[in-house]
Amino acid sequence: MSLRAGFLGLGAIGAPMAAHLARRGPLVVWNRTGERATEFSTRHRCRAARTPRDLAAESEVVITCLPTSQDVERLLDGPDGLLGGLEPGGLFLDCTSGDPATSRRIASRLAERGVTFADAPVSGGTNGAEAGTLTVMIGGHPDTVARAREVLSAFSSRIEHMGPVGTGHAMKAVNNALLAINILAAGEGLAALVKAGVPARTAVAVLNLSSGRSFVSEALVPERVLNGSWPRTFRLALLDKDVRIARDLLGDAGVAGPLVDLAGTLLGRARAALGEDADYMEAIRLVEQEAGVEIRG
Ligand code: NDP
């Protein structure tokens, strides 16, 4: 890789993304919980920076993957903040599933320092991150996008330019709102079918041969619900955050969004009931509990 890279946020998806970057060239990492960064740097033979500022000072491209855009913005400031270390000419790629308005503000603050920004959220899940086959939906100036491609291709097989800064986050929020609606709807429909006496596996098989199928029914339900495995790969709290971003996006665009609104309300309830560490597919567990049925088979 021709640019020296710095990566902040070694969480469920950030860590496997950063691991690909470590294989491509020199990498420096930072994580809020320092032990995670130390462990990662030992395993992947790269450096762990003491502060975000130190990381920025060593990097030509800074990549963030944090829960929210607000978390990213907060890392800019203070004596140890990124702004203290960033040099003019630098590139800042935010792979957080964030929100367009905060990203536009971050972009203009960075532009004052001569640093270019793009929002570059990803889809494909932790499996896609491990395999290096994520899809990146990027928002930014075409020159920034062209510069970003080499770095992003370390962990992605498709990089799609959506438009100006903020449009990557808008795309991601709408995608995840549709994912949430599909999860909730699949849970409700399958719970009702099982209660009506249809074996769960048969219901899923027929759905997947019919027009009501989705990624949820084809991949997620067979892998996680039918066998009751509920692995924790993507926190329900993060999907709830994505649906809130989509709600704001629809509101700002003057689009009535009753389905997205309702999905947000239901996910908010699920988050309150199941906690911050629950996986997103556990929203179906709550549907099961409330219906008094298990979708297994
Ligand atoms: P995790 O909760 O697993 O990890 C979050 C990371 O951010 C951790 O490294 C955590 O540090 C760090 N962090 C949390 N809060 C702060 C803060 N205030 N300041 C600095 N660092 C902070 O999240 P994921 O890795 O799953 O998700 C990251 C982003 O990627 C999210 O926006 C998510 O929506 C998106 N995403 C996730 C996918 C997935 O499958 N998991 C799929 C596609 C997108 P610490 O170790 O200290 O907790």
**Which CATH number fits the domain that encloses residue 228?**
1.10.1040.10
Contact 265, 243 (CB under 8 A): no
Q: What range defines the domain where residue 76 resides?
A: 5-165
Asked whether the whole model's pTM tops 0.95, one would answer yes
201 and 178 inside one domain: yes
In this structure, what DSSP letter does residue 132 have?
T
- Radius of gyration of the chain measured on its C-alpha atoms: 20
Mutate to test the pocket of ligand 1, among 36, 62, 66 (most ligand atoms within 8 A of CB): 66
> Would residue 145 count as lying in a domain?
yes
Beta-sheet pairing, 61-64 with 5-8: parallel
Backbone angles phi, psi at 28, to 5 degrees: -120, 140
Q: Is residue 219 part of a domain?
A: yes
> Which residue out of 53, 161, 169, 172 is catalytically annotated?
172
Q: Please report whether residue 297 resides in a domain.
A: no
Same domain, 13 and 52: yes
Same domain, 160 and 184: no
245-252: Cβ within 8 A, 24+ apart? 245/97, 245/98, 245/99, 245/100, 245/169, 245/173, 246/173, 246/174, 246/176, 246/177, 247/177, 248/99, 248/101, 249/100, 249/170, 249/173, 249/174
Question: Alpha helix (H) ranges present in the chain?
Answer: 14-24, 34-44, 52-58, 69-74, 100-111, 125-131, 142-152, 167-195, 200-207, 215, 236-253, 258-274, 283-291
Average pLDDT over residues 132-152: 98
DSSP SS3 for 122:
strand
Q: Across the chain, what does the average pLDDT equal?
A: 98
Specify which residues 135 forms β-bridges with.
123, 158
Last residue of a domain, one of 118, 136, 165: 165
Which residues are bridge partners to 160 per DSSP?
Answer: 137
Q: Same structural domain for residues 24 and 148? A: yes
The number of the ligand 1 atom at minimal distance from the alpha carbon of 10 is 9
Contact criterion met (CB below 8 Å) for 59 and 28: yes
Domain count for the chain: 2
| CATH number of the domain bearing residue 104 | 3.40.50.720
Q: Does residue 113 sit within a domain?
A: yes
Which stretch of DSSP H or E encloses residue 114?
none
pLDDT digits (tens, 9 = 90+) for 170-199: 999 999 999 999 999 999 999 999 999 999
Pairing relationship of beta strands 27-30 and 91-94 according to DSSP bridges: unpaired
Question: What's the whole-number mean pLDDT along residues 135-148?
Answer: 98
Active site residue 172: yes
pLDDT of residue 2: 86
Domain end (from 165, 195, 211):
165
Q: Using 50, 70 and 90 to split pLDDT, how confident is the model at 80? A: very high
Residue corresponding to tokens 């503000």: 105
Same domain, 47 and 152: yes
Q: Which of 65, 224, 232 to mutate to test the pocket of ligand 1 (most atoms within 8 A of CB)?
A: 65
In a domain, 153, yes or no: yes
> Ligand 1 pocket by C-beta < 6 Å: which residues?
9-14, 31-33, 36, 65-67, 71, 75, 96-97, 122-123, 125-126, 233-235, 238
Nearest ligand 1 atom to the CA of 235 is: 26
Q: How confident is the model at residue 46 (pLDDT cuts 50, 70, 90)?
A: very high
**Which of 120, 150, 165 represents a domain boundary (last residue)?**
165
Q: Is 155 a domain residue?
A: yes
